[in-house]
A and B are shown apart, each in its own frame.
Chain A
Amino acid sequence: MEFFRNFPFFSIMIAMFCGIVSSAVSGKSARRISLAMVTGVLVLSACTLVYVGDMGESVTYLMGHFPAPWGNEIRFGTLEAFLALYFSIIMLLSVLGGWSHVITDVEAGKENLFYVLIDMMMSSLLAMIYTNDLFTGYVFVEINTIAACGMIMIRQNGHGIVAAIRYMVMSLIGSGLFLIGLSLLYDITGHLLMVPAHEAIETVVAEGTYRVPLLVIISLMSVGMAIKSGLYPFHSWIPETYGYATPTASAVLSSLVSKGYIILLIKIFYRVIGMDVIVSSHILNALFIFGIVAMVMGSLHAIMQTDCRKMIAYSSVAQIGYIYMGIGLGTKAGMVAAIFHILTHAATKSLLFISAVGLYEVSDGRTDYNGLRNAAYRNRIAGIAFSVGALSMVGFPMLSGFISKYLFATAALERPHKMLLTLLALIISTVLNAVYFLRQVVTIYSGRPGESSSTSNFIKEAISESTFSNRFASIALILLNLFLGLFSEVVIELISRGLEIFA
């Protein structure tokens, strides 16, 4: 059992090792290595979760021979282990659901490079979840950014390149702001490890020195991470990026990459700066307002889209808004709701992207919203999966989206001066969500069952191509959604227990 404490370190290293090895093998083997690696990480994270389960404190693990202020460290408790487990499940299902499209979307001979990016992405997500060192966090933010960029542009049509450039510019601005914040933080604390840095900040706050730099640091880091995760005014890269990438990349980017940055930001809030300092700095109010605006504006943009994938992408803007709104409430309940919504959004968005793939496959590859007419009859599982995802986003009871909205609403009741705004935004956003998602659901089910827009021969071909693993991934993600919706108490309990030992 004591051996289990090595598992987070193993999972990071295995992911990186597989990435390095995959660069020298064929595309097919790279895919197998990648799937095996993600499965391995899944098992290791599950073991870690069992190990830290009832320990009541987080475990600090040295990365090297030197303790806290000198050497690198990782640290894990219930929340970290659970997030790693959950992210690896989503990663596995996204890769399974879209691999047949990777073969067609990626140039011949470069398929293995895509899986190198997947492996590196996984390692960087794990490192961001587990790290207890600010600079390690930054290094893996860089790896994450470059890997995401490669994933977007690997589908080399004009749009992919433009989207990648846009993503790169925005994302590097975000990293740059974060790095400036990091260096300033080092200047006033002299530490890069999170726990010693927190102690230094406590003395700084108690003595009242460096009040202005601290404020600037908090805002630079928050804005940097907000840009990278696509909060509303900085969302311009999202629709193109998610809309034109290969399906696996879209699912991974929307459900995991932006979430990794939010987790790192929450970690900095809790473990480095301290939540009371953050609350008194009023940066949370800014995040709250931007979150509220994102919830409404993202949904409005989504209504105006004709391309189904861009619609899903704009819906991500709104959902990121929900998460920042929850963080912005500044209470523990708000944070629990935000983290729960991270889980909800990861499960639902990957479900939507993966099932949407199943729908295009049987619609001549058309992605505009009229082209999908009747598609649900041609690929029933994808149709059901898309409907479940859409209902979950709208907030249908029994599905995870409902629980998130419920948690946000109850969390808002604790904050009287933010309550009205939150509830109003929730209502408006839910109605707008319903408008565009249900419109799409109605479209894919409208028309007579036998009617089709393309030749039946093509459909037969497409259905035989529409892989077993895509259907499997869709069903698994539906089940994950139902699990979050029906057994939410277990998950909420886990999150709130994890948050207590997170700081």
Chain B
Amino acid sequence: MSRIRDNYENSRAAKFEAWLRGDYDPMSEGMEISVPKTDGSDDEIDPRAGLVISDALYDRHTNKALKRSGYVYRVLSVVLCLVMISVLLWMVQFLPKFGQPDNPANNEVSARYIEKGVEETGAVNFVTGMILDYRAFDTFGESCVLFIATICVQILLRIDKDDMTPATFRRRKESETDRLLEPKNDIILQRVSVVLVPFLFIFGIYIILNGHLSPGGGFSGGAVIGAGLILYLCSFGYKQTERFFTIRTFRIVSLVALITYCLAKSYSFYTGANHLESHIPLGTPGNILSSGLILVLNICVGSVVACTMYAFYTLFRKGDF
């Protein structure tokens, strides 16, 4: 009899009963939650160790299931990519031929952008007129994409001054010595950038201000200014740069630019949708001060883009400004 009882304890029925009672847990071997070590001898314990769950879960050598599914994933992803590529290539032959005048994309939409663009938006550059007037809501969305991307990078990388936990302390020490591996006060770099940076800034400002007159605009001009800031930072270091560009400047500039964009466009949308007169003069096409809100919006977009580029660079390098 006793043998049968032994078997019963290991049988499925018993396990099921125990599981119902809550004593037995079929997944207990696969439990991922490990109690953090609290022996106190190691003073470099991560302050968030209580939250961090054992690394074994992501380690291919210990987690066999992950290893196996890793192989399956790789094979399947290659197969999937090949299938996608062949389907898309096969479909291309059924699409309209490239560059034909009677293609569906050459319709009244682009015709009006080209023929009436100057008259309706005041911008000689059709592309600017299209993205900042006809479809300004999309472009506002795009600037918000940039804004929220900086927010996410800040969440991930920003180190706060008053955060004194050991992990961030270590990271801050690393960031203070970040110029160990990079040229420090490199004379060639400094001489070149003294010549180059003013031109970069002026050229960027030119592209932004002429966005409605010639190819260019906020996105490209902002990128040029951002590149200039980064070059200056690389050659002269944080101390010099922070004389004119700190986190405060960054916050104020991007905040003012986005709020201006938001309010200006809200006004324009509101008047447009309610068929009111907007009282924004379009000016003479071709002049710098023309094309209504487009110039203002270009300046806003340009500042946001320049700040975003610079912020990405310093956040990735140092986690701070």
Contact = CB atoms under 8 A, between A and B. Distances in A.
B96 interface: yes
B151 A116 contact: yes
Contact of B142 (A139, A149, A153): A139
Contacts of B142: 139
A190 B273 contact: no
B136 interface: yes
Given A71-B134, A146-B148, 11 more contacts: A62-B269, A62-B273, A65-B268, A133-B138, A136-B137, A146-B145, A153-B152, A153-B156, A155-B51, A156-B48, A210-B96
B272 interface: yes
B214 interface: no
Given A63-B269, A139-B145, A110 B259 contact: no
B148 A213 contact: no
A129 B109 CA distance: 25
A211 B22 CA distance: 57
B255 A20 contact: yes
A61 B273 contact: yes
A438 B210 CA distance: 66
16 contacts: A6-B274, A9-B270, A17-B262, A20-B147, A65-B120, A139-B138, A142-B141, A150-B155, A157-B52, A158-B55, A186-B105, A188-B96, A200-B104, A211-B94, A213-B95, A370-B25
A154 interface: yes
Contact of B33 (A9, A21, A184, A368): A368
A107 interface: yes
Contact of A110 (B109, B133, B147, B160): B160
- Best-surrounded residue of B138, B151, B160, B271 (most CB of chain A within 10 A): B151
A113 B265 CA distance: 24
B27 A108 contact: no
Given A65-B278, A213-B95, A304-B27, A191 B155 contact: no
Given A65-B272, A70-B112, A306-B31, A109 B160 contact: yes
B91 interface: yes
B206 to A, nearest CB: 28
A116 B53 contact: no
Contacts of A71: 134-135, 272
Contacts of B44: none
A23 interface: yes
B77 to A, nearest CB: 10
Interface residues of B, number: 71
Contact of A64 (B109, B151, B272): B272
Interface in A111-141: 113, 116-117, 120, 123, 127, 133, 135-136, 139-140
B162 interface: yes
B28 interface: yes
A24 B251 contact: yes
B273 A150 contact: no
Overall SS of chain B's interface:
helix
Contacts of A135: 135, 138
Interface string A87-103: 00000000000000000
Interface of B: 22, 25-28, 30-33, 48, 51-53, 55, 58, 87-88, 90-91, 94-96, 103-110, 112-113, 120, 133-138, 140-142, 144-145, 147-149, 151-152, 154-156, 158, 160, 162-163, 251, 255, 258-259, 262-263, 266, 268-274, 278
A187 B151 contact: no
A72 B135 contact: yes
A419 to B, nearest CB: 32
A420 interface: no
B141 A143 contact: yes
Nearest to A373: B22
Given A113-B155, A117-B148, A370-B22, A157 B255 contact: no
A123 to B, nearest CB: 8
Given A72-B136, A108-B160, A64 B269 contact: yes
Nearest to A114: B155
Nearest to B92: A213
A305 B30 CA distance: 10
A195 interface: no
A262 interface: no
Given A64-B269, A146-B148, A157-B48, A16 B262 contact: yes
Contacts of B52: 157-159
B109 A70 contact: yes
A20 B269 contact: no
A63 B259 CA distance: 18
A476 interface: no
Contact of A62 (B113, B151, B162, B272): B272
Contacts of B272: 62-66, 71
B137 A113 contact: no
A20 B135 contact: no
B141 A127 contact: yes
B53 A143 contact: no
Nearest to A136: B138
B273 A63 contact: yes
A212 interface: yes
